[in-house]
Amino acid sequence: MAARLRVERHYGGYGSDSDVVSEGRCLGVEEGSDLGESLLDDTTNEFTAMPTTAEEYLRLVRKQTKACPKVVTVVEDEAAEGGSAMPDDAVENLPIDRSEEILGEKLKSGELVQAVIDCFDSLRGKLNETRRDSKTNETEVFDSEILRMEPTTQAIEQLSASAIVEGIEYLALSSFTESGTERFIDWTFCLLAGLDIPLLDCTMSSLQLIKRKCVHLCGVVDQPALQSKCLILIIIIRGFFGQR
């Protein structure tokens, strides 16, 4: 009989301050740094500015996950004929892109994944407020020269909804050198933050292409910061936009 997947539940150590500090050091985060110039209001749990780096984003996520979240581990179990059924409430279908396998332990915390999605949702809300009075109802052609700039809140605010869709399509179809990997990830993150949900249908194929690129990058890059950025994008594309 084919091997089954057995799900074990245990509690892991995302909750301690020491874990946050050690992870920050691994990602090159310094205390008091202004990476992304982003802030998270501890009272309202909302962003007051847009995080533009994975280091800053993960640090904000960690603020929300200090209660030692539950970790779900998926392992192979050689089940005999007539063995017990797999627990229904513990299994999710593994995607064909093998992102769980490639990312390993990083994608096993369900609460961490939810925290990333919640943070991203809050971020989008803040960004939409600042764009409400901008030219979001106009139609314009996306100028790829903007990708030479640093991805910032101000840059996204200047783009119309149609230009953001075109920008996502451009990134999905473009090739980039190793030195341009980080800029590709940062701009994708920012454009997704500004994407209008009613236009999601226009970008589904592009999101699939970007996700596959990120899964590939997670398996080939050896920089923890870049791997974390790719992880964030995979979580957002799969969890927030529902593109598995």
Task: Report the candidate in 192, 116, 182 with the shortest Cα–Cα distance to residue 150.
Answer: 182
pLDDT at 109: 52
What residue spans define the domains of the chain?
A: 4-107, 124-129+142-240
pLDDT at 161: 83
Alpha carbon 173 to its chain centroid, in Å, reads 19
pLDDT at 86: 35
| Total number of residues shown for the chain | 244
Phi, psi of 64 (to 5 degrees): -95, -5
Distance from C-alpha of 125 to C-alpha of 51, rounded to nearest angstrom: 13
Question: Residue 110 is encoded by which pair of tokens?
Answer: 């369900």
pLDDT at 2: 40
Cα separations (Å) of 94 from 74, 97, 115? 10, 8, 20
**Which segments in the chain show pLDDT lower than 50?**
1-38, 45-47, 50, 64-108, 136
pLDDT at 100: 43
